[in-house]
Chains A and B, each alone.
Chain A
Amino acid sequence: MNTGIKKIPRVLTYLVLCFWALTTIYPFIWVLLNSFRKKGLILSDSFSLPLGDSFTWDNYITAWQRADFKNAYLNSFLISGTVTVFVVIIAGLAAYGLVRYRFRGRDFLYSLIMAGMMFPVFSTIIPVFRLEVMLGIAGTGRRWLSLLAVILPQIAGNLCFAIIILMGFIQSVPIDLEESAYLDGCNVFQIYFYIIIPAAKSSFATVAIFAFLWSYNDLFTQSFFLRYPQERAITGLLNEISSQAGVNYGLMASSVVLVLIPVLIVYICLQKHIIKGLTAGAVKG
């Protein structure tokens, strides 16, 4: 599509675009290369390929031995998986209700959700922490309770964004489908599960991906609630390694790679959904 800037030569366009692409890809390649480089060589020569003498697996072996990655992966997947499932279910129900029903106070609820997007996690975390201590969930030192303590506020933190994105999509589902299902004898819940969810599948996927990634990457909430070694989730673990590694830069590089791998897999498999789903919701909002 021609939206302007026609005069600029094609070559220059690609040059600029490739330059920015280089800034987003190269740092990761640099870290990956250096995670395989022998100790000490990073500081003198970090640009060449680590081949032959300078190649080593040591950084990964040290990282795996020194920190409990297995346990941290498990914790992270438990937390983020649970958050994702609950956010999708709860937000889907609420978005459907808000889009299809006309009732008093609907606009008020909608603006409450918009306002909820404004609260930074800083402003709610302390009262949530105190509430959870009172309820006996947080600060007990018991692993499963501590994980729950992270899960609950993360669900709430993701809900507003999820509801707004899903509302945009459900609005675009033609209501005729629901009406014919109703005439065939379906009740509202059957309509929701058999018509709405399949029709808005891609937006549910978007919401699920974002809920997962945000929860996985959220250092702030994790560092508030997960204080003991066996509770540590992956982002917190990385933060700890970085403060202990000192000048062992190879160890830092390999830890970064280990943390990135799951994210990379999710992103590459699902990138079409991520970008399509996000923009459709964001621009409408």
Chain B
Amino acid sequence: MNSMIYKNKKPLLVFLIPAFAFLIVFLYYPFFQNVVNTFLKIGGLGRASQGLNTPWYENYQRLFTDPNMRTALKNTLLLTLCTIVFQVGIALILALLVDTIRVGAQFFRTVYFFPIVISATALGLMFNLIFLYKGGMVNQLLLSLGRLPSEVKPSGKVLVQWLDWKDQAHFLFTMFMPVMWQYVGFYFVILVTGLNNISPDLFEAAALDGADGWKRTRYITLPLLRNVLCTCLVLAITGALKVFDLPWVMFGAGMPENRGWLTGTYMYDQTFNRMNVDYGSTIAVLIVVLGVVLSNIANRVFRPSDDL
């Protein structure tokens, strides 16, 4: 692309300076500063630091000894795993199915993608109503199906043993389900586009060779989708590590009994409610490091060689 037009490099400055000025001031510099902050003692959001921590790596030490942090990490990694298996899995099944139909494909795309454009706050509130302890949508449904034990008192009142969806036995499901449900449509749309890019000639050739149905999916579609699947995987991992607003609206600070922390919510709580600004920064660094490491591993394992 060595057109004459672009030989004169002076206008380039006008093109690049606004964007990179913004990025440097509000993205790169803050990130660098955030790393520096992890070594300082900072008592409040707007306050200046009170010098180095003693020892300077105190916050990193704390990461390893803090039991809440361990809970947060465990939950987040579990969420990441569930995201990969269920979110990308369901999206893949739906994409393969939509690819076989003609009528209504556009409708399904529109509907599946819809939850993504809605704010997590609204969704969180909606799911709070759905999973409500006394008379939420799910519990009412269970009751009408006769799956909740209830007894009729002599006075005529019906006493129902509602299922608490946010107790220790159920909170993981209640927390993860909405997060996964929301983003299935995102991966679905990416996968459908990937499927559309596969040349139909390949399938005709395969049909001539006698491969059809499941075999075709297994030996042609899936290998050719590998690149796109890998993109989905990386997006799912980095996305899961950053999850914040849905669980925050639904569960708040670490409910139930400090067992419901995620790295995102714990970082927010430490920084904003407990004013441990330097420790919060350290958790943020951990989130970035984990994101880079995990998505690199995913890339190593799943990214196909270029010859496919």
Contacts and interface: CB of A to CB of B under 8 A. Distances in A.
Interface of A: 1-8, 10, 13-14, 16-17, 20-21, 23-25, 27-28, 30-31, 34, 42-47, 89-91, 93-94, 96-98, 100-103, 109, 112-113, 116, 118-131, 133, 139, 152-153, 155-157, 159-160, 163, 175, 178-179, 182, 187-189, 191, 213, 216-217, 219-220, 223-224, 235, 238-239, 242, 249, 252-253, 255-256, 259-260, 263, 266-267, 271, 274-275, 278-280, 282-283, 285
A133 B46 contact: yes
Contacts of A285: 231
B27 A213 contact: no
Interface in B82-120: 90, 93-94, 96-101, 104, 107-115, 117-120
A24 B23 contact: no
B213 A3 contact: no
Given A30-B130, A124-B34, A3 B5 contact: no
B194 interface: yes
B176 interface: no
A47 B135 CA distance: 11
Interface string B246-281: 001100000000000000100110011000010011
B30 A124 contact: yes
B221 interface: yes
Contacts of B125: 238, 242, 252, 255-256
A103 B9 contact: yes
Contact of B120 (A13, A187, A219): A219
Contacts of A4: 96, 100, 203, 213-214, 216-218, 220-221
B231 A120 contact: no
B119 A279 contact: no
B288 A123 contact: yes
A261 to B, nearest CB: 11
B145 interface: no
Q: Which of A6, A113, A175 is most buried by chain B, counting CB atoms within 10 A of its CB?
A: A6
A10 B238 CA distance: 36
A93 B118 contact: no
A249 B129 contact: yes
B110 A3 contact: no
A27 B37 CA distance: 43
Interface stretch (B14-22, B61-69, B73-81, B147-155): B14-22
B52 interface: no
Contacts of A157: 26-27
Nearest to A209: B117
A217 B246 CA distance: 11
B26 A175 contact: no
Nearest to A153: B26
A253 B288 CA distance: 36
Interface string B1-34: 1111110110110111011101101111111011
A152 B22 CA distance: 8
A242 B97 contact: no
A275 B109 contact: yes
A210 to B, nearest CB: 9
Given A130-B46, A178-B3, A217 B120 contact: yes
B241 interface: yes
B129 A252 contact: yes
B299 interface: no
